[in-house]
Structure 1
Amino acid sequence: MSLRKAYLLIFIILLVDQLSKIYIKTNFVLGEEVSVFNWFKILFIENEGMAWGTKIPGEYGKLILTVFRIFAVFGIAYWLSDSVKKQSSTFLITAIALIFAGAAGNIIDSVFYGVIFDDSTHNLATLFSDAPYGTWFHGKVVDMLYFPIFDGYFPDWMPIVGGNEFKFFNAIFNVADVAISTGVGILIVFNKKAFNK
């Protein structure tokens, strides 16, 4: 795969990711939910940290996370460029491009959303607001894709979790997260083809 095709893939993912996030942010109040099917819902949440809302504690935790993500994206960009120069497999280049696009999509939220949107807690957010909810590098990542495919309870005989509610799939995510997961999945499932040289 050429670098141009990799860039096109990255651009398309970033475009879909950002358009979907901006639409949700400006048309949904935080926590609002729409059922598409029983097993698929659009549920608007904001994530201040990493996967599943994990945060780095402390006053500078969010800033540290955002700066780390930026450095990681530069590393991924170098890996992509180097892999294309070495004419690595299409599997590897596609996977790296997907991971790069996903990471960049969430970085855009973290870096810019705090200064271009106002709060979504009780009202629809305004793009390019005069009263933004945060500062540079302190934006919240917009998540909205929710697939509660199965909902039930753990059997009572199970230790610790017995009788508790169980949902599969409980994570709420976005297009960028899907790109990252797909890229990592390609590297795992097609490992021999991705690293054939």
Structure 2
Amino acid sequence: MKYAKYYLAALAVIVIDQIVKLLVHFYMPMGSAGEIQVLGDWFKLHYTLNPGMAFGMELGSDYGKLFLTTFRLFATGGIAYYLYYLAKKNVSRGLLWCIALILGGAIGNVVDSIFYGVFLNNAPYNAPSPWFHGQVVDMFYVDIWEGYLPEWLGGGYMALWPIFNVADASIFIGVAIIIIFQKRFFKETGELHHDSHPEDIIS
């Protein structure tokens, strides 16, 4: 199948994401004690666990994580089918590559949520079950600014950019490119539809 390359790209994201996460888990102390400066104070490796969504967001209640993981499973299935559907049509290859990045990133974090609670024993102490309650491993820390907000902004500590991982970055890049180049993608898709024969498939 000519569109298999897009699934291979998603698979590459998953493999890289999991390798990085496992290396961090087994070879880095958690928190500030194991922090590694890559580009001074601006870019660091900082091992932390994220019990919720991308970039540290979280759902409440004991079963919020179960709901989130189940939702992610259905969402990734939908994205995988959508990629297959679009790949059979004459759509922009750039759009397909972006969806492949999003798919790979989504599956990468789903793997953490389903399995890490069991195999890495990182489920929260109050989780009803380690299955589907694994915490996502994050490690990339872009330290643009951190400090305490003034009282008129609510006060409290704030970091301008949250800690993330390869899967988060892949999703972010895929979505950002689609937003930035959406006009070009739609234009290319229209031209491909105009120039192609009915039996043509994106290559």
| Shared fold per TM-score greater than 0.5 | yes
Aligned mate of 1:49, from 39, 49, 52: 52
Cα distance change, pair 7–51 in 1 and its aligned pair in 2 (3 A): closer
Correspondent of 2:75 among 72, 83, 90: 72
SS at match of 2:90: coil
SS of residue paired to 1:118: coil
Shift of 1:194: 2.2
Choose 49-58 or 3-12, whichever is displaced more: 49-58
Q: State the shift of 1:57 in Å.
A: 1.8
Gaps in structure 2 of 5+ consecutive residues: 124-128, 191-203
Mapping for residues 47-196 of structure 1, pairs under 5 Å: 47-119=50-122, 135-150=130-145, 159-160=152-153, 167-168=159-160, 170-196=161-187
Structure 1: distance between partners of 2:158 and 2:107: 32
Deviates more, 1:95-104 or 1:55-64: 55-64
Alignment partner of 1:21 is 2:21: yes
Alignment of 1:34 with 2:36, yes or no, is yes
Alpha-carbon distance between aligned partners in 2 of 1:179 and 1:119, rounded to the nearest angstrom: 23
Give the share of equivalent positions with the same residue, in percent.
43
Q: How many residues align?
A: 181
Counterpart Cα distance in 2 of 1:74 and 1:167: 33
How far apart are the structure 1 equivalents of 2:80 and 2:92?
16
Paired with 1:81 and 1:143, the residues of 2 have a C-alpha distance of 29
Please report how far the alpha carbon of residue 166 of structure 1 lies from its aligned counterpart in structure 2 after TM superposition. Answer: 6.5
Compared CA separation, residues 47 and 167, structure 1 to 2 (3 A): closer
For structure 1, list consecutive stretches of 5 or more residues without a partner in the other structure. Answer: 121-133
Q: Per the alignment, in what secondary structure is the counterpart of residue 36 of structure 2?
A: strand
Q: Is the 8 A contact 1:13 1:102 kept in 2?
A: yes
SS in 1 for 2:44: strand
Secondary structure in 2 aligned to 1:36? strand
Change (3 A) 1:153 1:70: closer
Q: 4+ residue runs of structure 1 moved beyond 4 angstroms? A: 150-154, 164-168
In structure 2, C-alpha distance between the alignment counterparts of 1:14 and 1:184, rounded to whole Å: 17
SS at match of 1:173: coil
Query: Contact conserved, 1:34 with 1:42, CA < 8 A, in 2?
Result: yes
- Report the counterpart of residue 5 of structure 1 in structure 2: 5
Q: Using a 3 Å threshold, how does the CA distance of structure 1 residues 190 and 119 change in structure 2: closer, same or farther?
A: closer
Kept in 2: contact 1:91–1:193 (CA 8 A): no
Distance in 2 (CA, whole Å) between partners of 1:30 and 1:165 is 20
